Amino acid sequence: MGKPEVLAPAGSLEKLKFAVDFGADAVYLGGKLFNLRAKAANFTLEEMAEAIDYAHKRGVKVYVTLNAFVRNGDFPAVEEFVKEVRQLKPDAFIVSDPGVITTVKELAPEVELHLSTQANVTNYRAVNFYRSAGVSRVVLARELSIEEIREIKERVPDVELEVFVHGAMCMAYSGRCLLSNYLSYRESNKGACSQSCRWKFYLVEETRPGEFMPIEEDQHGTYILNSKDLCALPLLEELIEAGVDSLKIEGRVKSAYYVAVTTSVYRRAVDLLTENREAFYRELPKLMAELEKVSHRPYTTGFLKGENGSLQHYETSSYIRNYKFLGIYRDGVWQVRNPIRVGQEVELFLPTAESFKAKVTAIEVEKKGRIIRAEEAHPNQRAKIRFDKEVPVTERTILRREEAPVGAGV
């Protein structure tokens, strides 16, 4: 069984470092223009240079998203962006517009071309077409089943296939949606989606203005366009056997904590499955439990099993949030992100996807150049923390706390 790449999202320099430190083989990021996550922090050229240097020194690849659909007047800026990024030596550009493909081939011929899922490739003939255009990897449409993916790989074995395995799903076909543009004047195909599909909708008949039709699931209405989140971890073996080369985690606008946990879980899962199949299935319930501890909507395997009847979540568009990210252990101290108090029950999550529970017994914080005892550590402080038991704290360990359940399905 081949070992696929674990590809993690990097919406900012901080998130890139989390992804790299928690086991990604590759990360994908965007500049300030022409990528489809305008709401992410994204990268200046200086930040991108630092990010690529940080990743490459640790053997991790960096793919730069250039996957917006551009207009005639955009090309001078696109050309300048390609020239500037080329100097930073990224491992690939992720593209979708044929005009952009041509531009990158002309201006950065040594950089690989990966075709974005926005191109909605659903068949082997399309893969062949893009191969002839110079594309070395295709990010397949989310609407494909594993069997369809398998056939594409069998027919075009020399093109790498990348498949989304985790994260938010879009109610539109391969993300090509006009709903946001129509309702909020923010164009999803240029990265500014307002997620209008998550809003609450009622049905109104034309001759009865103001009269809501009784289609609600409960007293709060219905969310008829709201999709569940994708989680393909239980199907990992089938995906690898089908020939998938890269397992992609969605989430450039998600938190650093989300990036760390999802990357760590899929890293652990791939390593287990390709080295000890039985151990993977023994650990699968624990790995799934870890994925429940990040902010998410109810999970689905999407179209991967050929089913499409259970993708929408009608009750609410809220996220399930059961855990709060408290801090991360770096350079011998805890870097605090949310308040930590003496007496709290907390959980330590290691980059190996293992977790341990403990109680905080003492806190020391840096304040005005002095180390003092405290009952509470606050965000942005650096703290030393003692627990009621020996815990295997290692570099990059995450500290989190279970909260009162909030969101759908709880």
Are 402 and 266 found together in one domain?
A: no
**Residue among 323, 326, 333, 328 at smallest CA distance from 385:** 333
Number of domains in the chain: 2
Per the structure block, which two tokens stand in for 280?
């993977």
In a domain, 402, yes or no: yes
**Structural domain harbouring 91:** 5-169+230-298
> What pLDDT is recorded for position 409?
38
In a domain, 194, yes or no: no
| Domain end among 255, 282, 298 | 298
> What pLDDT is recorded for position 319?
63
Are 281 and 385 found together in one domain?
A: no
Consecutive sets of 10 residues in the chain, 410 residues long: mean pLDDT of each?
93 95 97 71 92 98 93 94 97 96 97 95 97 97 94 98 90 58 57 65 71 56 70 97 97 93 97 96 96 89 76 57 92 94 96 93 86 91 95 93 60
Output the domain CATH number for residue 81.
3.20.20.70
Are 42 and 100 found together in one domain?
A: yes
In a domain, 331, yes or no: yes
Q: CB neighbours of 182 closer than 8 A, spacing ≥ 6?
A: 196
In a domain, 264, yes or no: yes
> What pLDDT is recorded for position 293?
93
In a domain, 386, yes or no: yes
In a domain, 286, yes or no: yes
In angstroms, the CA 94 to CA 256 distance is 22
Output the domain CATH number for residue 372.
2.40.30.10
pTM confidence score = 0.84
Are 346 and 294 found together in one domain?
A: no
Are 138 and 273 found together in one domain?
A: yes
The whole-angstrom distance between residue 364's C-alpha and the CA centroid of its chain comes to 34
> What pLDDT is recorded for position 208?
74
> What pLDDT is recorded for position 405?
56
Are 42 and 116 found together in one domain?
A: yes
Are 84 and 155 found together in one domain?
A: yes
Place of tokens 């809501």: 212
- Region for residue 179 given its phi and psi (left: phi exceeds 0; alpha: psi -120 to 50; beta: otherwise): alpha
Are 241 and 290 found together in one domain?
A: yes
In a domain, 199, yes or no: no
> What pLDDT is recorded for position 244?
98
Burial of 338 (0-12, 13-18, 19+ CB in 10 A): middle
In a domain, 124, yes or no: yes
Are 257 and 364 found together in one domain?
A: no
Per the structure block, which two tokens stand in for 150?
């398998």
Are 141 and 287 found together in one domain?
A: yes
pLDDT, tens digit, 9 for 90 and up, residues 268-294: 999 999 999 999 999 999 999 999 999
Are 236 and 292 found together in one domain?
A: yes
Are 52 and 115 found together in one domain?
A: yes
